[in-house]
Amino acid sequence: MPIEVVAFDADDTLWHSEDGFHEITGRYADLLVQRAPAATRSGVSDLLDWTERANLAHFGYGVKSFTLSMIETAAAVLGDNVPVSLVREIIGLGKELLARPVELIDGAAEVVTALADRYRLLLITKGDLLHQERKVHESGLARHFEEIEVVSEKDEATYSRILREHGVRADHFVMVGNSVKSDVLPVLAIGGRAVHIPYEFLWQHEHAEHDGDVPELTSIRDLPVWLATQP
């Protein structure tokens, strides 16, 4: 079946994202360990991850949720009182993460630009609406995409709706992303194709068991050839 529409995940597929969360988590753990000597960096990081997952149903994905979870975790670690200076520093870390300049993944700009001549392109991403829109704008790639879809969950229902709205058949559709759980498995389940391009860091929540039968590329630079050689 000919490929007509290529959809890209954004964070950690077109630009770096998880490395920022990773760095901010490290600096956050340092702040807490300084004030609660019984705490360890890895203990803080695990508790933050647990709090984030527990808060997903309330707050959803993105930096604001992450910032609220950092504050909640600090309250759990510190006992009676949280110094006001620490509250300010944590909110400052959140704002810093939101303001981080977009840094494109090596090869992303060239590949998106080249594919835009040949396929209809979509961008499908989770997270804070305002933050994602700002990153798309800053990336300089927005003009290549027929639509930017910021969604609250990437599941079969979401992909089915997007295909329906864009009038594209599942067997003419390919999704490209760094998460097997969000970008690959639900698309395969509705009869589409998907290709996994792993990123250096994977948020634990995005981990998925699979039988290894998932197409995988080392770099986005390999995507044009992979697409051209699809049956």
The one segment of 16-24, 55-63, 172-180, 207-215 that binds a second copy by CB under 8 A: 55-63
Exactly one of 64, 172, 205, 221 binds a second copy (CB under 8 A); that residue is: 64
Binding flag, residue 208, a second copy (CB under 8 A): no
Query: Does the footprint of a second copy cover residue 99 (CB under 8 A)?
Result: yes
Cα separation values, 213 from 124, 182, 195, 226, Å:
23, 16, 11, 16
Copy the structure tokens of residue 67.
């910032």
Q: How far is the CB of 87 from a second copy (least distance, A)?
A: 4
**Of 108, 101, 148, the residue nearest 129 (C-alpha):** 148
* Minimum distance, C-beta of residue 221 to a second copy, in the bound complex (Å): 32
Site for a second copy in 151-180 (CB under 8 A): 151-152, 165
Would you count residue 72 as binding a second copy (CB under 8 A)? yes
Q: Could you tell me the CA-to-CA distances from 3 to 46, 104, 115, 119 in Å, in that order? A: 42, 25, 11, 8
Q: How far apart are CA 195 and CA 165, in angstroms?
A: 22
Please list, in sequence order, all residues whose beta carbon lies within 8 angstroms of the beta carbon of residue 88, skipping any fewer than 6 positions away. Answer: none
Query: Can you give the binding site for a second copy, defined by CB under 8 A?
Result: 58-61, 64-65, 67-68, 71-72, 74-75, 78-84, 87-88, 91, 94-95, 98-99, 128-131, 133, 147, 150-152, 165
